[in-house]
Structure formats: structure tokens, C-alpha cells
């Protein structure tokens, strides 16, 4: 009677170990990008990208209770949060070049990080905004599986945020 149970539990353990080993080999990195054309000049769009308090109007950051630095714009501006649903972390603007570029870094508890870039290209009287993110979820064997789907899901979130930004103008 014990031998069949030992085989069953041994088989389950082998499957779990294999699952974890594959997860360790999978890359924990991802990247996503989305673009939108906006009927406004780069000088009109840039303040919405360079000011973390304005991100509430076009990103999902407004859904998270957080604390903004003072001032909330340009290099060094940051927003930090400690939310039961989203965990804790911070976003900091690391580079700002008006009216074409804002770069930021997101640090999340557990060691995950995201580097983002918002680039504005002039198109006559319009602007093309391209939002790009690259993330590293670390070496957790489960995060390799999560990272496989992050590129697609994050690209969808970036596109949704840019659509909200477009409707502002």
C-alpha cells in the first residue's frame, strides 16, 4: 500500500522540481512598447509626461494611493506607494529633455525593476508619443513564467494609457 503512494508523491515531486528548474532557466526580463499620434504640439504634450501628478489623468497610477515628491515634475520627481493589492514601490523620473523625452525607473518590493521611456516626436502640428518599458522580475523561478506574458499585457496597458492621453487633447 505504501509503495503506490510513494510513487505518486515521487512523481508529483519530480514534476514540481522540473517546473521550478525550467522557471530558473526562463528569462525574467520583458519589454513592451506602444505609440499614439496626438493632435497637439510636443510642447503641449510634454508637461503631461514630465509631471507625475499629471500621470493620474492618463495612466492607471491614479488607481493606487501614493505619495508624490515636491515638486512632482522633472528629474528626481518620485511617487511611492504601499498598497495591499499592488505591494510597495516607487517611480522616479531619471531624465527629462523638453519637449522630447522623459525616462523613469520603477522599483518594486521583491527586487523587480522597470526602466521606462516616453519619447515625443513632432509630426507637423501633431506629436507621436512612444512609450517603452523594459523590466526585470529577478531570478525567482516562478517569475520566468510571469515574464513570458508581461510583454503582451504591459504593451496593452501602455496603449490604453496613451489612448487616454490622446483624449486629453
Tens-digit pLDDT profile for residues 33-49 = 999 999 999 999 999 99
> So what's the pLDDT on residue 99?
97
Helix, strand or coil, per DSSP, at residue 97: strand
pTM given for the model:
0.84
List domains and CATH numbers for the chain: 2-168 (3.30.530.20)
Check: CB of residue 107 under 8 Å from CB of residue 134: no
Secondary structure, 3-state, 12-61 = HHHHHHHHHHHHHHCCCEEEEEEEEEECCCHHHHHHHHHECCHHHHCCHH
Q: Retrieve residue 100's grid coordinates.
A: 522630447
pLDDT of residue 19: 64
The mean pLDDT of 1-12, rounded to a whole number, is 71
pLDDT in the model for residue 2 = 64
Amino acid at each position: 500500500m505504501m509503495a503506490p503512494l510513494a510513487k505518486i508523491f515521487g512523481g508529483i515531486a519530480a514534476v514540481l522540481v522540473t517546473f521550478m528548474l525550467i522557471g530558473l532557466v526562463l528569462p525574467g526580463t520583458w519589454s513592451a512598447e506602444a505609440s499614439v499620434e496626438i493632435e497637439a504640439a510636443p510642447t503641449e504634450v510634454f508637461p503631461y509626461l514630465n509631471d507625475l501628478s499629471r500621470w493620474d489623468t492618463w495612466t492607471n497610477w491614479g488607481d493606487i494611493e501614493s505619495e508624490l515628491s515636491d515638486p512632482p515634475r522633472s528629474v528626481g520627481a518620485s511617487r511611492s506607494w504601499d498598497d495591499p493589492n499592488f505591494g510597495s514601490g516607487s517611480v522616479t523620473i531619471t531624465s527629462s529633455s523638453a519637449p522630447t523625452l522623459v525616462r523613469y525607473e520603477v522599483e518594486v518590493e521583491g527586487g523587480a525593476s522597470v526602466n521606462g521611456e516616453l519619447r515625443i516626436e513632432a509630426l507637423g502640428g501633431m506629436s507621436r508619443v512612444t512609450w517603452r518599458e523594459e523590466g526585470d522580475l529577478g531570478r525567482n523561478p516562478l517569475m520566468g513564467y510571469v515574464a513570458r506574458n508581461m510583454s503582451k499585457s504591459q504593451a496593452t496597458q501602455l496603449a490604453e494609457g496613451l489612448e487616454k492621453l490622446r483624449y486629453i487633447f
